[in-house]
């Protein structure tokens, strides 16, 4: 069964509202439930940038997906979840926009990702590259072509 983007948005919003009504669960359980629900979106964790250190790791690994480079959320998912559950005036469209606006990531090294300082974007990533594959991301020909192109800026 193929679900349209609009149907997905409504299904996820209905699920969010249902999670919100569950009594006597901790915020961390609620957050994990929301995370599972949001994983329905195959276009989640959109990559919009890459750090210089992450690019160097790609170069050193012949532009294949290297160990130690992951998607670093620009906005912490736990903070996004907290705001979502605290607000009571969501419409499906306002909730979806908030979620999509805060679901942006940059490719960064593990140490950059763990650091509390904001990551410095070396290059913007065009929409549609480094698509989600579970917790991982794809690096196919179009991603390699992009990485090779920006590596010339180093």
Q: What is the pLDDT of residues 77-122, one digit of tens each?
A: 999 999 999 999 999 999 999 999 999 999 999 999 888 777 799 9
In the prediction, which pLDDT does 114 show?
Answer: 87
In the prediction, which pLDDT does 119 show?
Answer: 79
Question: What span, in angstroms and rounded, lies between the C-alpha atoms of 71 and 134?
Answer: 12
Give the residues of the chain that fall short of pLDDT 50.
none
Instruction: For CA atoms 86, 91, 92, 96, give the dihedral sign.
Output: negative
pTM for the whole structure: 0.88
In the prediction, which pLDDT does 68 show?
Answer: 95
Can you tell me which residue has the tokens 């670093």?
72
In the prediction, which pLDDT does 84 show?
Answer: 97
Alpha-carbon dihedral 91, 7, 48, 17, rounded to 10 degrees = 40
In the prediction, which pLDDT does 111 show?
Answer: 93
In the prediction, which pLDDT does 136 show?
Answer: 86
First to last CA, the chain: 45
């Amino acid at each position: 069964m193929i679900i349209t983007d609009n149907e997905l948005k409504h299904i996820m919003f209905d699920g969010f509202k249902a999670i919100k009504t569950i009594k006597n669960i901790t915020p961390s359980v609620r957050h994990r439930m929301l995370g599972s629900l949001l994983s329905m979106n195959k276009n989640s964790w959109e990559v919009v940038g890459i750090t210089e250190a992450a690019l160097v790791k790609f170069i050193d690994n012949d532009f294949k997906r290297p160990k130690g480079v992951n998607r670093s959320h620009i906005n912490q998912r736990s903070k996004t979840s907290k705001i979502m559950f605290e607000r009571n005036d969501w419409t499906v469209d306002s909730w979806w926009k908030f979620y999509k606006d805060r679901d942006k990531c940059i490719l960064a090294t593990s140490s950059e990702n763990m650091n509390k300082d904001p990551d410095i974007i070396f290059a913007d990533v065009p929409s549609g590259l480094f698509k989600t594959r579970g917790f991982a991301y794809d690096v196919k020909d179009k991603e390699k072509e992009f990485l090779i192109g920006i590596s010339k800026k180093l």
